[in-house]
Amino acid sequence: MRGYHHGDLRRALLGAAVEAIGESGPTALSLRDLARRAGVSHAAPAHHFGDKAGLLTALAVEGFDLLADALGRAGDDLLEIGVAYVRFAVDHQAHFEVMFRPELYRADDPQVVAARTRAGEALRGGLSALPARSAAEPDRDALAAWSIVHGFATLWLAGALPAGTGRDPEVVARSVIRRLFE
């Protein structure tokens, strides 16, 4: 067997998954292709993840953890948290594509739930900066903030924003997110 020459085969397989998703999206992902990319036997991915849903579950957990960390580094400034969300989506597009497609993985997996909750709490961290008129509805405010940054990130990644919007996603995101404060 060619396998296990990796110091961390699990990490190598997740890296191969990120690469494959970047090329052809999460639905086209195959464990056999990942094994080939990682230079291991075709049984190695199944040994580590069980099946494709298991691999995508691990990728979703990793993505939500990375997102929570990125949002946490932004502090408690809602504008900076929103920009960090967009930056994460641009820098970790494969994770982003998987994380918000719960039909592809085991969304009720305890590790997914914990990581998703941590990311959600980090996103909520800046809500105190919103005008006082909205303080009575923090759940709706959180949904509005998430919808704006997620929608923007999704449109940016799809290349669906109007021509002339700008070339730097962080600069454009700042101008959009500032609308929350008006």
Which tens digit of pLDDT belongs to each residue from 47-97? 899 999 999 999 999 999 999 999 999 998 889 999 999 999 999 999 999
Which residues make Cβ contacts (< 8 Å) with residue 113, sequence separation at least 6? 107
Which residues make Cβ contacts (< 8 Å) with residue 142, sequence separation at least 6? 120, 123, 124, 127
- The answer to whether the beta carbons of residues 22 and 93 sit under 8 Å apart is yes
Backbone angles phi, psi at 105, to 5 degrees: -140, 180
- The answer to whether the beta carbons of residues 98 and 59 sit under 8 Å apart is yes
pLDDT digits (tens, 9 = 90+) for 108-135: 999 999 999 999 999 888 877 666 655 5
Residue 142's pLDDT is: 83
Q: How many CB atoms lie within 10 A of CB 89?
A: 25
What's the CA gap between 139 and 49, in Å, rounded?
35
- The answer to whether the beta carbons of residues 98 and 106 sit under 8 Å apart is no
Q: What is the DSSP letter of 179?
A: G
User: Which amino acid is it at 155?
Assistant: L
Q: Is the pLDDT of residue 3 over 80?
A: no
What's the CA gap between 77 and 55, in Å, rounded?
34
Token representation of residue 34: 């990942």
Considering only CA atoms, give the Rg of the chain: 18
Residue 132's pLDDT is: 62
User: Residue 42 — very low, low, confident or very high, per pLDDT cuts 50/70/90?
Assistant: confident
- The answer to whether the beta carbons of residues 32 and 42 sit under 8 Å apart is yes
